[in-house]
Amino acid sequence: MKRLLFVDDNDIVTRLFVRMLSKKYVVTGAKNAEAALACLEEASYDVVVTDLRLGSFDGVDLRRVIARQYPDVRVILISGLDVKADTTDQFDGFLRKPIECDRLIEAVEQSLAMKH
C-alpha cells in the first residue's frame, strides 16, 4: 500500500482527510512543516499533500526541502488562497480548497504515475 503524508495546520481538516484516505493508503497527518519533516525522517512516503500556509515554514519551503532530501517523493499543494502558476508549477499537483476526497485521490494517483 502506498504511503501518504497529509500536512495541514487545521487539525479538523487533517483528521478528516487522514480518515478518508486511510481506506486506500497508509496515511500519516502532520500539523506543520517541521512535523512533516520529522515524519519523513522516520518513515518513507510516496506522496506528501501539503497546505500552502503552515506558519513560518510554508508549503513551498517544505517542497524545496523534500525535493533536495527526498527527491522521489511527490508533493501536492492544497490551498484555499489564490496561488500563482509559478508557485503551483513547483508541485506535482495542485488542488484548491475545499477539496472533495475523490479529487484528492485522483491527484495522488496522477502524481504517483508521474516520473521525476
pLDDT (tens, 9 = 90+) of the chain, 116 residues, equals: 999 999 999 999 999 999 999 999 999 999 999 999 999 999 999 999 999 998 888 999 999 999 999 999 999 999 988 888 888 899 999 999 999 999 999 999 999 998 65
pTM of the full structure:
0.94
Q: Which helix (H) or strand (E) holds 3?
A: strand 3-7
For residues 19, 24, 28, 34, the Cα torsion angle rounded to the nearest 10 degrees is -110
Tell me how many domains the chain contains. 1
Query: Which CATH number is 42's domain given?
Result: 3.40.50.2300
Domain that holds residue 66: 3-113
Gyration radius from the chain CA atoms: 12
Cα–Cα distance for residue pair 47/62, rounded to 1 Å? 13
